[in-house]
Amino acid sequence: MEETSFRVETELILGGFSCVGGVDEVGRGALAGPVTAAVTAFAPDIDDRLVREVTDSKLLTPKKREKLSNEIRNLAVVCSVGSCSAEEVDEYGIVLATRKAMLRAIADSIRQPDFLLVDALDLPEAKIPFQSIIKGDRKSRSIAAASIVAKVSRDMEMSNISSLYDGYGFERNKGYGTREHMIALSEKGPSPIHRRSFAPVSKAMKS
């Protein structure tokens, strides 16, 4: 497993910043459901051993993600989630909707970071100094923590609403285009939480 670190965060703290937040999103490629983002930050003096297992959420099992998400929420000085609905994704486009989800996570935080490390996106709208890091969830521990919290939050939401839209397997595929999901989409058409601007969904609407 790739090990993340607080190297970038430490450099920024030594440079005079007091609260460095990591920002990441999940659900950009899903055909249904929200795009969800999270922001997390840890105290500069946190014991590194407590968060050594924090890495890119995609590299972790669901059980491990849930365990780490609970630990992150208990240890972080900043931990907040924001999202944009499928309807908003259709209205704004996925990139702008992703930024809006990130901004909502930041706005909802009890404490505002004074510097942001953002996974692969620029975020000038936050009006907070930031650095965009490609594959940041595999480099920055704060970004990786945000990826875990966002993933667990979104997965839980998709599982909870799956009973409202029976037959698509949302509790298993979380809105992504698995074979089961694509068959249901072609047979049943889209549900109210499908992203109609996404090609596989719009194609199903025409068939």
Pick the last residue of a domain from 155, 173, 191: 155
Using 50, 70 and 90 to split pLDDT, how confident is the model at 206?
confident
Answer yes or no: do 12 and 106 share one domain: yes
Helices and strands: H and E segment counts in the chain: 8, 5
Q: Report the C-alpha gap between 194 and 202 in whole angstroms.
A: 10
Q: C-alpha distances in angstroms, 155 versus 148, 181, 206? A: 10, 16, 29
Answer yes or no: do 140 and 57 share one domain: yes
1 inside domain: no
Q: pLDDT tens digits for 105-160?
A: 999 999 999 999 999 999 999 999 999 999 999 999 999 999 999 999 999 999 99
Using 50, 70 and 90 to split pLDDT, how confident is the model at 1?
low
Whether 150 and 61 have beta carbons less than 8 Å apart is answered as no
% the chain with pLDDT above 90: 96
20 inside domain: yes
State the pTM of this model. 0.97
Q: Which domain holds residue 184?
A: 163-206
2 inside domain: no
> For the chain, what is the domain count?
2
Average pLDDT, the chain: 97
Q: Report the C-alpha gap between 23 and 40 in whole angstroms.
A: 7
The terminus-to-terminus CA distance of the chain in angstroms comes to 43
Answer yes or no: do 191 and 142 share one domain: no
70: alpha, beta or left? (left if phi > 0; alpha if psi -120 to 50) = alpha
Give me the pLDDT at residue 67, please: 98
Answer yes or no: do 151 and 168 share one domain: no
Q: pLDDT tens digits for 16-30?
A: 999 999 999 999 999
The DSSP code sequence of 68-103 is HHHHHHHH-SEEEEEEE-HHHHHHH-HHHHHHHHHH
